[in-house]
Amino acid sequence: MQREKSESFFSKAQQLIPGGVNSPVRACKSVGCNPLFIERAVGSKIYDVDGNEFIDFVCSWGPMILGHNHPAVVEAVQKALANGTSFGAPTPLEVELAELVTEALPAVEKVRFVNSGTEATMSAIRLARGYTGKNVVVKFDGCYHGHADSFLVKAGSGLITLGIPGTPGVPEDIVKNTVSIPYNNIDILEKTLRDDSLDIACVIIEPVAANMGVVLPQPNFLQKLRDLTSELGILLIFDEVITGFRLSYGGAQEKFNIMPDLTCMGKIIGGGLPVGAYGGKKEIMAHIAPEGPVYQAGTLSGNPLAMAAGVATLKILKEPGFYQALNDKAEKFANELQQLAAKYIPQSTLNRAGSVMTTFFTGKPVTDFDSAMKADTEKYSFFYREMLNQGIYLAPSQFEGTFISAAQSENDLAKTLEKTEWVFRKMTSR
242 contacts ligand KE4 (rule: CB under 6 A): yes
25 contacts ligand KE4 (rule: CB under 6 A): yes
Question: What is the C-alpha separation between 375 and 366, in angstroms, rounded?
Answer: 9
Which range of residues in 143-151, 220-228, 318-326, 420-428 is near ligand KE4 by CB under 6 A? 143-151
Question: What is the C-alpha separation between 285 and 407, in angstroms, rounded?
Answer: 36
30 contacts ligand KE4 (rule: CB under 6 A): no
Strand partners, 45: 42, 55
239 contacts ligand KE4 (rule: CB under 6 A): yes
144 contacts ligand KE4 (rule: CB under 6 A): yes
Q: Choose between 63 and 340: whose C-beta lies nearer to ligand KE4.
A: 63
The alpha carbon dihedral of 382, 167, 127, 261 has a sign of positive
Which range of residues in 93-101, 192-200, 239-247, 375-383 is near ligand KE4 by CB under 6 A? 239-247
Q: Choose between 159 and 340: whose C-beta lies nearer to ligand KE4.
A: 159
Q: Which residues contact 49 (CB under 8 A, 6 or more apart)?
A: 5, 6, 9, 36, 37, 38, 39
DSSP reduced 3-state for 145: coil
Q: Choose between 130 and 146: whose C-beta lies nearer to ligand KE4.
A: 146
252 contacts ligand KE4 (rule: CB under 6 A): no
User: Which 33-72 residues touch ligand KE4, going by CB under 6 A?
Assistant: 61
- Annotated active-site residue 5? The verdict is no
**What amino acid occupies position 164?**
I
Question: What is the C-alpha separation between 385 and 419, in angstroms, rounded?
Answer: 12
CB of 335 to ligand KE4, least distance (A): 24
141 contacts ligand KE4 (rule: CB under 6 A): no
User: Which 97-136 residues touch ligand KE4, going by CB under 6 A?
Assistant: 116-118, 121
- Annotated active-site residue 144? The verdict is yes
**Backbone phi and psi for residue 139, each to the nearest 5 degrees, phi listed first:** -125, -175
Q: Which residues contact 286 (CB under 8 A, 6 or more apart)?
A: 110, 292
**What amino acid occupies position 95?**
V
145 contacts ligand KE4 (rule: CB under 6 A): yes
Alpha-carbon separation of residue 226 from 180, 185, 209 (angstroms) = 17, 14, 17
State the catalytic residue, choosing from 110, 134, 144, 255. Answer: 144
State the catalytic residue, choosing from 48, 239, 368, 412. Answer: 239
Q: Choose between 114 and 201: whose C-beta lies nearer to ligand KE4.
A: 114
Which range of residues in 138-146, 167-175, 293-301, 408-416 is near ligand KE4 by CB under 6 A? 138-146
**Backbone phi and psi for residue 340, each to the nearest 5 degrees, phi listed first:** -65, -45
Instruction: Give the relative orientation of helices 377-389 and 410-428 as an angle to the nearest 10 degrees.
Output: 130
CB of 197 to ligand KE4, least distance (A): 28
Number of residues that bind ligand KE4 (CB under 6 A): 21
Question: What is the C-alpha separation between 424 and 428, in angstroms, rounded?
Answer: 6
DSSP reduced 3-state for 138: strand
- Annotated active-site residue 56? The verdict is no
Q: Choose between 60 and 132: whose C-beta lies nearer to ligand KE4.
A: 60
Are the C-beta atoms of residues 424 and 345 closer than 8 Å to each other?
A: yes
- Residues marked active site are found at 144, 239, 267
Contact residues for ligand KE4, defined by CB under 6 A: 23, 25-26, 61, 116-118, 121, 144-146, 157-158, 206, 211, 239, 241-242, 266, 276, 400
